[in-house]
Structure 1
């Protein structure tokens, strides 16, 4: 049994209505700031964020979310962190969630460079987080948010106290041979489609629970999809060729530089992950100084959205790591 106060699937449907939604509407503060200007563009990108300040905060946590995710998907996570004594800060990466989109088709996952994600993240820390809390924040990352978080820590080692990575995107499945991956990316670019969907990618699809690769928890999956149906603006489809090219560059950069990772890190691996490449994740983690790997056997990719038997150990380890 967890030593922390965490939500449970048993009563989550009713608790979401009676406690979590009112908490979100009554306690969260929302805003926008100007993200970095993309090269060749005339306007900055609007970046959406939200935060809640705990009146007797033990510390603060900054959340870096995964691809296609929005801060509205993290209502339960933010609620749990707050109930355990933390002020929480979260933003939507450019091109997704409630932040500004970058292409005419808002469904296409696109970024000019992962450096833009990092620049936005640094602005969020400077303009919002450090203005609102006296605590040096901890960082909690999921999936693509782990790529962005790792790059940010490597560039700005003074920003965070500790970091927890949930199923970080240090590699992507299926893990193709390098030569074949390069061939496909070059072919796509040759066809002048870098801002179009990569091969096989499509617009947002409200996939049935039975076919999903993200979680075993039906209630958490349905709540996530319900949030996205009620706020269609946050819906996002597959990735563009340029996003994939930039992701490959970012993951290579992390693997090459992670030996100088400067702060304590806990990496929580989803044992049955079908989204990120656990073999490469293991390789990267083995090069990190002061890092601990925890494997949650049988869990799918979305550790924060999983069944209690997977999610509770994940959040318990996270909170325990932050408190030590």
Structure 2
């Protein structure tokens, strides 16, 4: 694998972090991030959400390293430094949601090539939770799977749902797939939404840190999703809801103030997953790994205990 740029200045990660280029199955280039750990008891395969990038999870890799786990993660196609899928570099666009499985395969091939310590455990956030669940259903070689605020359904007002389906379906057939989805803009959410009303974190210092990352390296940012992305995401969530759960240990963590993904769909999945556990954190928002220091400690302690027993 060829070395790729890695911005240690903004990552706040453990020492030794680096990044690689890897070709996905369709020859698109994705960036893989790795924080190695000598003597690790296993490796966390961390699947980030929409708009996110490797360096954003530096502090999570440090927290996991303190609990004896190394971390491998990825910039999904269309975000971070991976190849963008639209002439508009700010558009959160994908042609088919299934294309993310090519990226996931590239990530797992990198884990194999780097001979990372086993067992491997999945940790998937938001959109990564949708991609990771599909991967787990199709035999992803992990010993367990953990999810934070997984996108198994998208939260939206009941009146908007049929409109979203209609617009996103039409976009696929009339050449408007790259148009931004209703209610979203070209600008990055973090850079445009004040801390007081943001749906991601209740920790002001973490919010400021995430903004500083994007200002230091604006090439990492993307804006709202395209209509095509929205259609593909809605369709994939519906397909996953109809499929049986994988035979893997599962822990899912979500904040009680979640406003981006559907808690009802999360509860439905966990109810149909034998042995799976759901932990709801009172007052937490979408990004429980980017919340207050106490919440981050509690979450990583829960995750480590789960993996230790998996």
TM-score by length of 2: 0.90
Partner residue in 2 for 1:12 = none
Say yes or no: does 1:114 pair with 2:97: yes
State the 1:279 CA deviation.
1.2
Partner residue in 2 for 1:238 = 224
Say yes or no: does 1:29 pair with 2:11: no
Q: Which structure's residues are more often helix, by fraction?
A: 1
Instruction: Find the partner of 2:38 among 38, 55, 63.
Output: 55
User: Which structure 2 residue ranges, 5 or more long, are not aligned?
Assistant: 1-7
Say yes or no: does 1:174 pair with 2:159: no
Comparing 121-130 and 69-78, the one that deviates more:
121-130
**C-alpha distance in 1, partners of 2:285/2:245?**
29
Partner residue in 1 for 2:4 = none
Q: Structure 1 residues 112, 191: closer, same or farther in 2, change over 3 A?
A: closer
Comparing 187-196 and 226-235, the one that deviates more:
187-196
The answer on whether the counterparts of 2:46 and 2:123 sit within 8 Å (CA) in structure 1 is yes
The answer on whether the counterparts of 2:11 and 2:56 sit within 8 Å (CA) in structure 1 is no
Comparing 172-181 and 28-37, the one that deviates more:
172-181
Q: Superposition pairs for residues 44-193 of structure 1, below 5 Å?
A: 44-129=27-112, 131-157=114-140, 159-176=141-158, 179-189=162-172, 191-193=174-176
Q: Deviations over 1:119-169 (max 9, x none)?
A: 211121123345322413001111001001001111124x10011100101
The answer on whether the counterparts of 1:73 and 1:224 sit within 8 Å (CA) in structure 2 is yes
User: Which structure 1 residue ranges, 5 or more long, are not aligned?
Assistant: 1-15, 38-43
**C-alpha distance in 2, partners of 1:307/1:226?**
17
Q: Structure 1 residues 198, 180: closer, same or farther in 2, change over 3 A?
A: closer
Partner residue in 1 for 2:3 = none
State the 1:309 CA deviation.
3.8
State the 1:186 CA deviation.
3.2
Q: Structure 1 residues 45, 190: closer, same or farther in 2, change over 3 A?
A: closer
State the 1:175 CA deviation.
4.6
Partner residue in 2 for 1:225 = 211
> How large is the RMSD of aligned CA atoms in angstroms?
2.0
Partner residue in 2 for 1:288 = 273
State the 1:184 CA deviation.
2.9
**C-alpha distance in 1, partners of 2:187/2:304?**
33
**C-alpha distance in 2, partners of 1:243/1:96?**
13
Q: Structure 1 residues 94, 299: closer, same or farther in 2, change over 3 A?
A: same
Q: Structure 1 residues 103, 20: closer, same or farther in 2, change over 3 A?
A: closer
The answer on whether the counterparts of 2:48 and 2:127 sit within 8 Å (CA) in structure 1 is yes
Partner residue in 2 for 1:298 = 283
Matched pairs, number: 298
TM-score by length of 1: 0.86
**C-alpha distance in 1, partners of 2:164/2:187?**
24
